[in-house]
Structure formats: C-alpha cells, structure tokens
Structure 1
Amino acid sequence: MRTIQRALLASTAVIAVVAGTGAAHAQASGSDPSVQLEEIIVTSTKRAERLQDVPVSVTALTQDVIERNNVRELGDLVKLSPGLSIDYGSQPGNFSIKMRGIGTFSNGIAVESDVAVVIDDVPIGFQAAAFKDLIDVERVEVLRGPQSTLFGKSAIAGVLNIVTAAPSDTFGGKAMALVTDDGEKRLGFTVTGPINDDIRVRLTVAKSDYDGNLKNLTTGKNVNGSSGLTATAKIEWTPTENLKFSVAPRFNHNVSSCCASAITELTPGLNYQGEPGFPATTTLRGITFDKNNHFVRSDDRIGGGNSEVFGGTVRLDYDFGEGSILKGHTFSSITSRDRWKMRDFQDIDGTDQPFLLGFPVASPSGINSGAVINGYFHAKSTTQEFRLTSPGTGRLRYVAGLWYAKNDLDRYLNRGPVLQLARYLAESTNENYSAYANATFDLTDKLSLTGGARFNRQKIDYQFHKTIFANTTLTSPTSVQEFSGANDDDAVTGKVGVQYKWTPDIMTYATYSTGYKGQAYDLVSTFDSKIAANMPVPPETAKNYELGFKSSLLDRRVYFNAALFRADYKGFQTSVTSFLPDGTFLTFLNSIGQLRTQGLELDGVARITSHFRLNGAFAYTDATVIDFPNGPCYSGQPLDLASPYPVGGVAAPGVCYTQLQPIVAGKPQTVSGRQQNLHGKRLNNVPKYKFSLGGQYDIDLPDNVPFKAFIGANVRWQDDINFSLSQDPRTVQKAYSITDLTVGITDREGKYKLTAFANNLFDKRYAQGLGNGTSGYSNPAIPTAQGKTWFPGRDAFRYFGARLDVNF
C-alpha cells in the first residue's frame, strides 16, 4: 500500500507541474481551441461515448499516436500501454497476450485466451491469428481487467478493441513508405470516397518486410523477422437515412522466421547430445558467447510460420425513427466468417549439422538430417451478434444483445524423424450462445448506477489421434490411439458499479465485475489415457474490484485518469514446463488454484501549448501466485531430499521435491516429477513498475518557408521481470529503459510528412525471452555445465529509419 501511495504522490506532483504550466498559458490565451485536447470517443462499452465518461480502465491509442510510433503489429502496442505484455513461444501459434499480468500461455488449440482481440466488433477466434500487420487503424482501446459481461468469456483479463477507419464522404487517400537501416521496409496505400450518393468505399493494401535481428551464419540470412501482405476493404450502402449496410472483406498473408534464440553463455568443452563427434566448437563455429551475441547456426528453415487469413464481416445498422416505440434506438446485426491457416516449422536441434548420421542412439542410423518439428494449424470462426442500443441521452442508457460463435480448430504436429518422436492430430470445436445487457441509470445529475450481466452456454468437443512409437526408431511397430470427448458448461458473469460526477469534467467510479473462461483440453504431445480420463480442465473465474478517477482539467488542456484494482483468478489455465527426474523436458496444462493481481494505473495527456503535447502512462502491477502447490521446478534447482512432500499437506514455498503425484480431476494437471510450492511468487513476465512518457513539439518556421518542423521523443522503462513461472534465477531480465527519437517536416496543408527516427537511441540490450539450459550440449566430465539463451526484442539493437506519408 505504501508503494501505491508513493506512486500516487509522484503522479500528483507530475500532473501538478503540467497543470501549473497549462494554467499559466490558460491565463494568457483564454479558451483558445488550439491548445485544447481533442475529444476521444471510444466504444469500450459497445456504444460511442467520451473516453472521460466511461467507468472502465481504458487507454485509447489514437491514429496520430499509432502512426507517430510506427505501430505495425500487436507487439508494438506493448511500448505504449504499460499494463500490456506478450509472452513469446517457440513459434507464432504459441504467442500469448497478457493484461495486468494475466494471460493464458498454452501450446494446445483447445485453450482459450484470457485477452480478447476484437477488430471492428468481431473477436479473433484463435488468438494466434491476431499476430499480423495492423493497417488503417483509427484507434486501439486497451481495456484492462475482466470484460466478460460485454465481450464474452475470452475477455477474462481484458480486451484489445481495435477500430479501423470508415469510408469517407469525400474522395481522398493516403500512402506511406518506411525503410530502416536494419532491413525493414513497409509500403501502404489507402483510397476512399463515394461511388454515388448512397455508396462509399475504402480500400487499403499494405506490404511489410523485416529480415530480423539475429543472423544465421550457415545461410547468411537474418532470422526472427517477418513479411506480410494485407488487403482490406469496406463498402457502406445507405439506401435510406435510417438504414446502413456494410461489407468488409479482409486478407492477410504472413511469413515469419520466428523464434530463434541466440546462446549467450555456454560452458567450454561441451558436445552436442554429449557426443564427442559434435563438439560445440564445430556446431557453433564462429559464434562468440556474450550478452550481445546475435548469431546462430541452423539449417535453412530455422523456424517460423506461413499463415493466411481470409474473411469478412457483414453489418446492418437500423435507426428507429419517428412513430416507433423504439425511437432513437439502433438495431445492429454483425455477421463474420474467418478462416486462418498456418504451416509451422522449427529446427529443434539448433545446429546446421546432420547429427543423426553419427548419433549412436538413433535407430535406424545413417539418416542425413537433424531434428525438426513441422505441422499446421487451422481455425474457422463464425460469429453472429444481434444488438440493440438505446439513445445516448436520457436517464437510462443501455445496450443488450444475443451472441453466437463457433470455432473449428485443428492442429497437426510431427516431430522427429527418429528422436523425441511425436505425431498427433488434434481437433476441437467450441460453440457459444450468449445473452447480455449493460445499462447506466442516472439517479441524479451527478450520481449514476451501472450494471450488466451475461449468460453464456459453451459446448466443446475434441478428437485426438496420436501415433505411438514402440521406441525411438522408425522401424519399430507403431499404433494409433484415438481419444474423444464432449462437454458443456453454463456461466453467468456480471458487473455492478457507481459513478459520481463532481463536475462535468471530473468523475470517480467504483465497480465490481466477474469473469469466466470455459473448460479446456490439454491437446499436446503428452496427451494420454490418464489425462483424457480427467478432461476437461475446469473453467477459469475472476472477481475484480476497481476504483477509478477520470478528469478533464484546465479547459480540456489536461486529461488525467487513475485506477486502483484488485482481481482474484481461480482455476487459471496455463501451460508450464517441468523436468522429470531423468531430465526429460515436458510442457503440460495446469489449472492453477489461485492468482491475484492488484495495483495502480495512471494515464495522462497534456497540451502544454498549441505546439507542445505530452502523454504518459504508468502501471504498478503486483501479480502473484496464491495457490499452486504443485508448481514446476526450474532446471538445475536443487532437490530438498531432507524435506519430503508431506502426505496430505503442502510443502514450504520454494522447496523443490520429487513426488509421485496422481492426476486428479479439478486439481493441477501435473506429472510425476520435480515440483515446488509457488505460493507468494510473482507471475512471469510481469514488471512490477512500468511507465512510458512521450511528447512532440511542433516548430513554426518563417512564413516564407513552405513547411514546418517537429521533434518528438518517447521513453519507456520497466522493472525487473522473470520469464519463468518456476522463478529460475537465470531467466531474469534486469530493469531497462528505451528511448526513441523522431524529427521531421510537414507542409503547412498537411499533405506531406517526412519523418526520420532513431529507435533505442542509446542501444540498450533487452530480451523478450531468456532460457536457462545448455541447448542440448553436455559432457559427462562436466556435470555442472551451464548455458543461457536470449530472444531479443525488435528494438533490442539501435536502428534508424525514415518514413514518408502522403495525403491526397
């Protein structure tokens, strides 16, 4: 609590300085509109409202902020919203978005996300499909905390609500080109306007290429990059003044070379798989191991995915007019259909050597290759929403609707060819039927009550086809195991709150909300009859308490918002890694007993003068494990043989022990192996403190100069994080800060803008993932061997670039 108090005092001091500066200017300029902030309209409550009137902790990233920070995909949003983070897996299908430290990380297809990604009122059915280029975006709303009442069960931790630009009533367009000195190139083009009095069209096409910031010495190519081609369209038809139809087709093709990690530490004298014929000096030749290493050695296809999205949305909006009992209401029908497919591949041995040629354990031997994973993901999503929205005026304002969604998912994985063999086809379908309502009632001009509820019915099923190998040979007898199951579940979530307007520009609110995410299946290579007998994994639930303050100060020169929150999550679903006593590495789904996240969030924007604008955000997030007695130990964690696991009891936190733990329905889905009690431990990849501060100053030049200049900067800082839930001391990323700088010119009519930028100006290294292990290298003579790897962020190395924007 003292930490929160100190943060509040610090934020108050900052805003007081900003307000004082603005007040001094206000006295000189009166109500000059040029120094006022624009009103931000959001749809975070499924109706258009002023950001400052919405009783939700939400950050709205407007189009100018998105363009100024060169946002290309979801990973770039982490820079601008401190409460947001992303866990990166071994390939794009395993990425996971976190809000306030909460986000499901799973290698299986039958586990929903905790953070919903919604684009133009349509949620992404399988979160991995959201990791593509974002184009023609008008606004991104980052909604923190459980949003299940309005956005469904995949929004138990929050929502990324993305709104793209609508067709224009006048002809126009824009073009953009970006290039950097480290191999990134982007091109984008948009044209919009009316076809006739009733029809308007918008078409956007964008192409991006980025080689990556690690280099494969074997091929000479960079990796951890991506290339994408995206095309979207919107066609709006208004046959009458009360009726509007719209059709929005979309397409994306993305090829990713993700996700390689470079070795930064490795004990000398090790051999790959312990074989003297494969010394590290050969398999990793030319690589110097240090914290800056950005070289790897691998076969040509080091890893990544090749994905495509085809889809579209059809929408109808009807405004009830005079003579109707629903005068002023709007009825909306939103129908979507999307198909996403991705082929993934990964060189899992991390070398460029055909080591199976001489690996004695391999049978049959003489195979001219290394070890690989390949396979595919398919996801087909269909949604239908019927929504009724009341007028924005009146004492009672509400939105109510019916919702249907169906997701058909499948995943094929093939790992081999002769070692660590695994081959399976997993198929799963989930259907959801929901009815929801949310309302605000003004008791007085200042006091309002809010409330809402959602009833959801989920039906899920799965089929799992697994090839069983008698041992690690291709010639061994094999068999196929078949598993299947089906379940359904009903849940009710809700939200209640009160808000009070002290003045038209200052509002406080208090809310209590619940969240729910449905049952899940652990459809990965470890799936067997024991796990199948105890499926599904129980649902995940949440209870969230929030106090908020929103203000528009100094004649709309300053926006300052704050939120205090505390949320408890029970049955949290996430995949964790564990090691068996023989060293075997496993990933399996857990239903963690209880997590808690609490903290403080601040957002502020200030127009200091008509030429100078500042924006900032701060998050204090205390995300911890409350109940997880069967958590994983980390690699190399000493076993406490003197303190055996007490029968019927719980081991002390942090004690690693070995215990035969049976799988029990409703309990963590663990295995026989090394375990520890993680009570009181912090969640992985969640900084306790994080902030960003940015601004832009517009420079007026003499009137005879046909353009004006600008300069901008953005600084973000975050506290220490541990990338491992097991609390591995060797996977800690120390606190760091990143500074970006921009300078540019624009013509006085705003048609042309040329920007030069330097990202990570001071060349500060940081990782988006750290690994503790020797990457398959060992030597019986060196039992204490150690190794470490890092997965660098996009801007973990300084780079420079230029961007040209043209409007017509």
Structure 2
Amino acid sequence: MFKDRIHLCTASCVAALLAATPGLAQAADQAAAPAPTPATDSATPGLADIVVTANRRSERLQDVPISVTAVTKDVLERQNVRDISDLTKLVPGLTINYGSQPGNFSINMRGIGTLSNGIAVESDVAVVIDDVPVGFQAAAFKDLIDVERIEALKGPQSTLFGKSAIAGVLNVTTQAPTSTWTGRATGLVTNDREWRLGGTISGPISDTLKMRLTVARDSYAGNVRNITNGSWLNGSKGLTVTGKLQWDPSERITVSFQPRFNQTDATCCVSPINSLSPGLFYQGIPQLPASSVLAGIPVNDPANTKVRNDFRSGGDSSTYGATLRASYTLGDGQLLPGASLTYIGSFDRYQMHDYQDIDGTDAPFLLYFPVAAPSGINGGARILGHFHARSVTQELRLTSPAGQHLRYTFGLWYARNSLDRLLDRGPVLQYIRYLATSHNENYSFYTDLSYDLTRKITLNGGFRLNRQHVDYTFDNYTAAVPFHLGGGSLDDAITGKVGAQYHLTRDNMLYATFSTGYKGQAYDLVSTFNAAEAAAGPVRPETAKNYEIGFKSSLFDHRLLFNTTLFWTDYHGFQTSVQSFLPDGTYLTFLNSIGKLRTRGVEVDLMARPTNRLKINASGAFDDAKIIDFPYGPCYGGQTAAQGCVPDPRVSVNPSNIQNLDGKRLNNAPKYKFNLGSEYDFPLGKPDLGGFITFAYRWQSQINFSLNQDPVTVEKPYGVFDASIGGTAGGGRYKLTVFVNNLFDKHYAVGLGNTTSGFSAPGVVASGTNWQPARDSFRYVGVRLDMGF
C-alpha cells in the first residue's frame, strides 16, 4: 500500500542577487551556427526561443514553471566543457563534491547532494542522458560529446524523474541525425599537457534511415607532480564513441537505436600537503623523519603540487550500453489524435578498477610499523578494488500534442540497478577485504498535467507512485571471524506537485509551485558495516518539501530575457556520510541521517543581445543552505570540549565524540555565486570572414568543505577570469580560437583536508593540511580548431 508522502509547506524567502553566467546568451540562440559569423548592427535578431524538455515534453523555456538553466552546444564549445565538472562554471546552483576516488564523487544542487562511499546510497541529483538516467553517478563523470543541450533543473524533480532527483536534474540531450550529410572535426591543445581530438559524421543512408557517429579522444596529464617517478597526477585520458540510427518508416513512426561506449583512465584524486608542523616523523617512526620522507616537497607552500607516491592513484573505468526508442503519433481518427506514444528501453554496464596510495609517501614504512612489532613488509599501504554497475530501464510514455488547453504526460517506469563493490585495503594498516552487492528495483506510474483555465491562467499538477525493493549482501573476509550478511527492504512512496501560472503577456509569466521529493531507504555498505548495523535495518528515506515563486520575462523585442526564482526547501532524513573519531583516535566514516536541512534563496538568469554583434549574460544564486536539526553531528580532528566536542551521551562504551550542528551551513555550499560573460563578433573585411572576443568571470563566496565545520577546511572567496579571441571563415565552417583560462592565476581548491598525513612526534602538537587543485587552479592557454562541412 502506498504511503502518502505529499506535504504542504509554508515558506517565506527574502533575498536578492544580481548575478551572471558565462555564455548563456548563446544558449538562447538555439538555432545558431556552431561558430560566430560576421554581422551588422542593422539586423535585429533578438534572442531565439529556447526549447526544453523539463516536463518530458518540448516547451519554450519561458513557459516552463521550473527554475531551469539551459546551456546549448555553442556555449559548451565556447567554454570548452569537457565533463559534468565543468558545468559548475555555467550553473551557479551547481557544485561537485570530490572524494578520494571517482567512485564517490557527488553532484550538489542548491547545496544538496549525497556524499557516500557506499554503493547502496542513491544520488540526490539525477543525470539523465536522452531520457535515460545514469544508474551509478560515477559513470556520469565522463566526456560530454555531441551534446545539443543541457538543462539544469533545480529543486526536487522526483515526480517526473524519480527518486534520484530529490535535489535536481542534469537533463542532457544529444544531437540528432541530420537530413543532409554533414561532418565536423575538432582539435584542442594546451600548454599544460592537454589535447583533444573528435569528429562527427551525420546524414541519410536512405530515404527513411539516418545515422550519426561521433568519436572523441582526450588526454590531460594533470597538475600534480609525483616526484618519485616523474609522472603527472589528477589527470585523465579517454575514448568515447556514440552513435545513432534513426528510422522513419512513416510520418507517424520513428525508431532510433543509440549505442555508446566510453573508456576513461583517471589518475585522481591526489591532495598534496600544503602545510605541516616541523620536526615530525611518519607514523612516529624515528627512522622516517618528514625531512627525508617528504624530500623535495615544499610542504608549507599553499599551492604545492608535488607528492611522493609509490602506488598509483585513480580509477580505470569503461562503460557500454544502448538505448532503443520508438515513437508513434496517433492519427485523427484514433482515440487521442496527435498524441505520441513512446517506448524507451536501455541497458548499461559500468566497471571501474580503483587504486589509492593510502600513506601518500614512497617510504617502505611497513618495515618499521607497528613500532612495537614491525611487520617487516617492504612497502606501504594501499587500497585497490572494483565497482560494477548494471542498469536496465523500461519506460512507456503518452504525451499530448502541443497547443492544446489540456497538456498531459502519463508514464510507466521500471528500473533495475545491480551494483557490487570489492575493496582490499592493507596490507596491514586497517586491513580489510570485503565484497558488497546491492540490487535496487523500482516500479512507477507518473503523470504531469497543465490546463489553461483562461488565456492567462494555467494550472499545473502531477504525481508519481513509486515502489522500491532493495536487497544486499555483505561479505567481510578479514574479520577475526569472517562473516556474511544479507537483507532487504520494500518501500512505497507518493510524490507530487501542484502550481499555477499567470501570463501577463506571451513573453512574461509568473508562477508558483509546490512539490515534494523522495529518495529511498539505504544501507551503509562500507568497511564499518557489521551485524549490529544489519540488524538495525536501512537508513530511513530522505524526503523534501519545496515551494517556489518565479518570474520569467522577455523584453525589448526579445533582446532581454530575465528570469528569477525564489525558493524554500526543507529536507528531512538527509542521507550523507560523516566522519568521526573515537577517543583512541580511530577514524570512522559512516552513513548518517540528518534530521532536517533547509535551503532557501534566489536564482537569477539574465540574457541580453543589445546588438547583433554583442551578447551579454548574467546569472547567479543566493543560497542559504543550513542544517536545522543535527544535535549528534561529527567533530573535526583536534576539536576540544570548549569548542563543543563531547562524548556521545547515547553510547556508554567507547563513544564517539559529537557536536551540535544545528544552524550550521552545509558543506561545499557557497552562499553567493555568480557568473558574468560576454561575446562580441565583428567582421574582418570579407563576407565569409569574422572575428570574435569573449570573456567569462565567475565568483563564489566562502565555503567549508567539511560538514563538521572544521575551520581549517574553509576556502576563501575567489573569482576566475577566462578570455578568448578567434576568427571564423567559410561562413562559420572553420573556426580558430585562442583562449586563456584563469588569466590572473588565482589558485583555488576543490577539496581541503585537515590532516597530518600520518606524521607525528612525541610531545609535539602536530598539524597539517592538504588541498586538491581544480583543473584550472593554475593559468593555462590553449588553441582550438573546429572544422565543418
């Protein structure tokens, strides 16, 4: 029996922000050519309508009662967007949490995102590619190629996109086959060891069959130097192949088949030491002073990029799969004339072998560790293992034709995700070897409705019925008594939304929407999982109540678009991994359920085209993302009782230390973030020649990378400036771009840690930090050449 998950919420939100996003003016030019072309100021093109599928049907962006940032292919090209991580430059409400390896990356929207090392915990932000969700979020961090448009839908989207969309959706649409033969080739090279090559060919095979094939290779060495062997780290290289076959046997029937493949070898996620107390020894071992173990590393340089590793770090992954899509449009004499009946089926297989140098040194410290009884092993500590994910989805959707007073979408949905994780950590330090498996099966019925009550008033609503079944196994091979655990749970939920729109004019609209979100129960299948946790059952579901008021407008003959949204969202039972320390110093990571979070604020998008040559953009966000109820939160390393860290009163034997985190900000959630961008096109004297200049500036306020509010892991406010200049020929078929990213060489981190990296000394209060630099934490320049026919 389904449980009612729909709640009403009363909210108020007072905030204001004017901000900016680079490149979104070009996003408004949906039909624009891939490259700028010479223009004259006498033309008055304005901004073309952007068509999105945020409601599972094609609609103008300005008519959709959702906070959406839409970015099209020309913007992705101009900003050299390579993967999901680069979208943080274009979507102010989007951030990425980077873990110790690619398997535990997470995507945040409006400050909300799941950080977990376990495979049985779903994401909070769904990544959907051509109507198919990515079953395991790590698989989303690969090359984005041949993309037509990316829509960032903010706030709970569970009604249409399911359980893994409680905080938002990144909805990716790839390019369709063309009716005439076309091709495109791209090459890029930078001064810091990055190169990319790609090509696309598309066209008709017959009167009814069209194809599209895209192949891309890329390589980036990285920006961290391993001085042990001279290699570069925090880079990647990969091969991506995507294809489409589209068969149109009649005007009413379309069938497409989309195979895909990706292989990525990443050398992430290394965090160099950038401060350390003097006079320390690794693991307190007298034979291993820091001065020799870290020789050649400027450990007190805030921008240090040197490490000493004797074991590789990163993950080698491969993905393959396919989507079959068939659509039939009902005829005039049928029950629902003009409606489309669509079937979408997919399968995907993902695997990754991951590696990590735990000790972060090249010293054979196990020869001397433990000090009392050395192991005698000539080496260090490491982690290795694998992830496997297998996903199958089936969807049947009925969509109304456009232009009706009643517009509807009805759908049936089935998905099964099977995942397993093998981890081997050792060989003696915190030694463990386990295999965890998780199977997640979902059945859903959903609907979305819009009804024009009058010419100006539209009512919106929808709901989703969802049934989830989760089961797992967990085998610990290295416990004093090896054990096998297993179990499962069944959960039903209803999510929904209701709202209204008021059209002042065709191009100016107000809307108000209330929606709910839901993410299912979860098991904490990590190294600390044991019989007691299994007996306690799953971590409870995560739910959300969201209220939004928005205004979308197009002014001055479509030369200015201005959209703004006020939002207030409450999350209950937020699932996230937290870190804690036992009194003996043992470090633990475990899944927790935070009682209540709240995120509220304002989002602004502005796009302008004052002349045919000049495009200006602005977008940004104010986000007040706070913990409301978490009295038993984790402490940070070194936190004292005077600073609020006390033994957990709920535990009598060997309790962990806790602190009250009520009222604290969420981690990696900037309160203010904005982007500003512009492009100016100009003629070069001949009709088929043109030039362009662009700039993009983004800024964000202070953040803390740790949920436990560690003062050492605070990243101060920073801004990054990018610029480019180039020219086009052949009416835009050829384009040469010279660009510089991070022009003013502003160093910033995508992760900070409070750690001594295992160094200590008797009678010395040791302290230390490390940082993970971003791809553009250092200035670099590059050249890009695009050719089309």
TM-score (norm 2): 0.94
Q: Secondary structure at the match of 1:78?
A: helix
Provide the residue aligned with 1:773 in structure 2: 755
Does residue 1:574 correspond to 2:566, yes or no? no
Provide the residue aligned with 1:20 in structure 2: none
Does residue 1:712 correspond to 2:694, yes or no? yes
Q: 1:35: Cα distance to partner?
A: 3.1
**What is the rounded CA distance, in whole Å, between the counterparts of 1:303 and 1:600 in structure 2?**
40
**What is the rounded CA distance, in whole Å, between the counterparts of 2:421 and 2:254 in structure 1?**
39
Amino acid at match of 2:495: T
Please say if residues 468 and 480 of structure 1, whose CA atoms lie closer than 8 Å, have aligned partners that are also in contact: yes
Deviations 1:45-86 (A, max 9, x none): 000000010000000001111100000000000011000000
Q: Secondary structure at the match of 1:378?
A: strand
Deviations 1:490-546 (A, max 9, x none): 000000000000011100100000000000000000001111111210000000000
Provide the residue aligned with 1:19 in structure 2: none
Q: 1:4: Cα distance to partner?
A: 4.6
Q: Secondary structure at the match of 1:582?
A: coil
**What is the rounded CA distance, in whole Å, between the counterparts of 2:776 and 2:204 in structure 1?**
41
Q: Which of these residues, 675, 680, 702, is aligned with residue 685 of structure 2?
A: 702
Deviations 1:359-399 (A, max 9, x none): 24486722111000000000000000000000111110010
Amino acid at match of 2:647: T
Amino acid at match of 1:735: P
**What is the rounded CA distance, in whole Å, between the counterparts of 1:562 and 1:360 in structure 2?**
59
**What is the rounded CA distance, in whole Å, between the counterparts of 1:9 and 1:154 in structure 2?**
29
**What is the rounded CA distance, in whole Å, between the counterparts of 1:297 and 1:728 in structure 2?**
24
Q: 1:292: Cα distance to partner?
A: 4.1
Q: 1:550: Cα distance to partner?
A: 0.3
Q: Secondary structure at the match of 2:351?
A: strand
Provide the residue aligned with 2:235 in structure 1: 225
Please say if residues 20 and 677 of structure 2, whose CA atoms lie closer than 8 Å, have aligned partners that are also in contact: no
Provide the residue aligned with 1:77 in structure 2: 87
Does residue 1:357 correspond to 2:346, yes or no? no
Amino acid at match of 1:800: V
Please say if residues 215 and 294 of structure 1, whose CA atoms lie closer than 8 Å, have aligned partners that are also in contact: no
Please say if residues 4 and 620 of structure 1, whose CA atoms lie closer than 8 Å, have aligned partners that are also in contact: no
Amino acid at match of 1:631: G
| Unaligned ranges ≥5, structure 1 | 16-28, 471-478, 641-653, 664-669
Using a 3 Å threshold, how does the CA distance of structure 1 residues 416 and 200 change in structure 2: closer, same or farther?
A: same
Does residue 1:67 correspond to 2:90, yes or no? no
Q: 1:620: Cα distance to partner?
A: 0.2
Q: Which of these residues, 382, 399, 404, is aligned with residue 392 of structure 2?
A: 382
Q: Secondary structure at the match of 2:379?
A: coil
Please say if residues 267 and 314 of structure 2, whose CA atoms lie closer than 8 Å, have aligned partners that are also in contact: yes
**What is the rounded CA distance, in whole Å, between the counterparts of 2:309 and 2:335 in structure 1?**
68
Deviations 1:109-148 (A, max 9, x none): 0000000000000000011110111100110000000000
Using a 3 Å threshold, how does the CA distance of structure 1 residues 483 and 576 change in structure 2: closer, same or farther?
A: same
Q: CA RMSD in A?
A: 2.0
Q: Which of these residues, 774, 777, 780, is aligned with residue 793 of structure 1?
A: 774
Deviations 1:656-701 (A, max 9, x none): 10125359xxxxxx99211001000000000000000111000112
Does residue 1:661 correspond to 2:663, yes or no? no
**What is the rounded CA distance, in whole Å, between the counterparts of 1:381 and 1:765 in structure 2?**
39
Provide the residue aligned with 1:735 in structure 2: 717
Please say if residues 19 and 618 of structure 2, whose CA atoms lie closer than 8 Å, have aligned partners that are also in contact: no
**What is the rounded CA distance, in whole Å, between the counterparts of 2:401 and 2:303 in structure 1?**
59
Please say if residues 51 and 58 of structure 2, whose CA atoms lie closer than 8 Å, have aligned partners that are also in contact: yes
Q: Which of these residues, 620, 628, 631, is aligned with residue 629 of structure 1?
A: 631
Q: Secondary structure at the match of 2:744?
A: coil
Q: Secondary structure at the match of 1:743?
A: strand
Please say if residues 20 and 605 of structure 2, whose CA atoms lie closer than 8 Å, have aligned partners that are also in contact: no
Size of the aligned set, in residue pairs, is: 763
Q: Secondary structure at the match of 2:641?
A: coil
Q: Which of these residues, 404, 424, 428, is aligned with residue 438 of structure 2?
A: 428
Q: Secondary structure at the match of 1:250?
A: strand
Using a 3 Å threshold, how does the CA distance of structure 1 residues 250 and 780 change in structure 2: closer, same or farther?
A: same
**What is the rounded CA distance, in whole Å, between the counterparts of 1:569 and 1:698 in structure 2?**
46
**Superposed, which structure 2 residues align to 1:159-308 within 5 Å?**
159-308=169-318
**What is the rounded CA distance, in whole Å, between the counterparts of 2:630 and 2:404 in structure 1?**
49
Amino acid at match of 2:682: I
Deviations 1:320-367 (A, max 9, x none): 112111110000000000000000000000001111122244867221
Deviations 1:700-720 (A, max 9, x none): 12237x521100000000000
Deviations 1:230-260 (A, max 9, x none): 0000000011111011000000000000000
Using a 3 Å threshold, how does the CA distance of structure 1 residues 466 and 726 change in structure 2: closer, same or farther?
A: same
Does residue 1:314 correspond to 2:333, yes or no? no
Q: Return the structure number with greater relative CO, CA threshold 8 A, min gap 6.
A: 2
Q: Secondary structure at the match of 2:138?
A: helix
Provide the residue aligned with 2:509 in structure 1: 507
Please say if residues 236 and 265 of structure 2, whose CA atoms lie closer than 8 Å, have aligned partners that are also in contact: yes
**What is the rounded CA distance, in whole Å, between the counterparts of 1:609 and 1:600 in structure 2?**
29
**What is the rounded CA distance, in whole Å, between the counterparts of 2:346 and 2:82 in structure 1?**
24
Provide the residue aligned with 1:151 in structure 2: 161
Please say if residues 435 and 475 of structure 2, whose CA atoms lie closer than 8 Å, have aligned partners that are also in contact: yes
Q: Which moved more, 1:87-96 or 1:29-38?
A: 29-38
Please say if residues 363 and 418 of structure 1, whose CA atoms lie closer than 8 Å, have aligned partners that are also in contact: no
Provide the residue aligned with 1:648 in structure 2: none
**What is the rounded CA distance, in whole Å, between the counterparts of 1:701 and 1:308 in structure 2?**
45
Using a 3 Å threshold, how does the CA distance of structure 1 residues 618 and 2 change in structure 2: closer, same or farther?
A: farther
Does residue 1:141 correspond to 2:123, yes or no? no
Q: 1:159: Cα distance to partner?
A: 0.1
Deviations 1:624-664 (A, max 9, x none): 00000110011111124xxxxxxxxxxxxx6210125359x
**What is the rounded CA distance, in whole Å, between the counterparts of 1:234 and 1:733 in structure 2?**
43
- Equivalent pairs: percent with the same residue? 58
Q: 1:296: Cα distance to partner?
A: 3.2
**What is the rounded CA distance, in whole Å, between the counterparts of 1:389 and 1:334 in structure 2?**
13
Q: Secondary structure at the match of 2:599?
A: strand
Does residue 1:745 correspond to 2:727, yes or no? yes
Using a 3 Å threshold, how does the CA distance of structure 1 residues 611 and 2 change in structure 2: closer, same or farther?
A: farther
**What is the rounded CA distance, in whole Å, between the counterparts of 1:160 and 1:90 in structure 2?**
23
Q: 1:422: Cα distance to partner?
A: 1.2
Deviations 1:734-759 (A, max 9, x none): 00000000000001511100000000
Provide the residue aligned with 1:595 in structure 2: 597
**Superposed, which structure 2 residues align to 1:242-641 within 5 Å?**
242-361=252-371, 365-470=375-480, 479-640=481-642
| Unaligned ranges ≥5, structure 2 | 1-10, 26-38
Using a 3 Å threshold, how does the CA distance of structure 1 residues 362 and 554 change in structure 2: closer, same or farther?
A: farther
**What is the rounded CA distance, in whole Å, between the counterparts of 2:310 and 2:333 in structure 1?**
69
**What is the rounded CA distance, in whole Å, between the counterparts of 1:411 and 1:93 in structure 2?**
10
**What is the rounded CA distance, in whole Å, between the counterparts of 1:6 and 1:429 in structure 2?**
44
**What is the rounded CA distance, in whole Å, between the counterparts of 1:496 and 1:320 in structure 2?**
28
Please say if residues 298 and 347 of structure 1, whose CA atoms lie closer than 8 Å, have aligned partners that are also in contact: no
Q: Which moved more, 1:109-118 or 1:317-326?
A: 317-326
**What is the rounded CA distance, in whole Å, between the counterparts of 2:264 and 2:138 in structure 1?**
12
Amino acid at match of 2:383: I
Q: 1:468: Cα distance to partner?
A: 3.5
Please say if residues 745 and 779 of structure 2, whose CA atoms lie closer than 8 Å, have aligned partners that are also in contact: yes
Please say if residues 217 and 295 of structure 1, whose CA atoms lie closer than 8 Å, have aligned partners that are also in contact: no
Amino acid at match of 1:532: A
**What is the rounded CA distance, in whole Å, between the counterparts of 1:563 and 1:379 in structure 2?**
37
Does residue 1:806 correspond to 2:787, yes or no? yes
**What is the rounded CA distance, in whole Å, between the counterparts of 1:379 and 1:10 in structure 2?**
38
Amino acid at match of 1:435: F
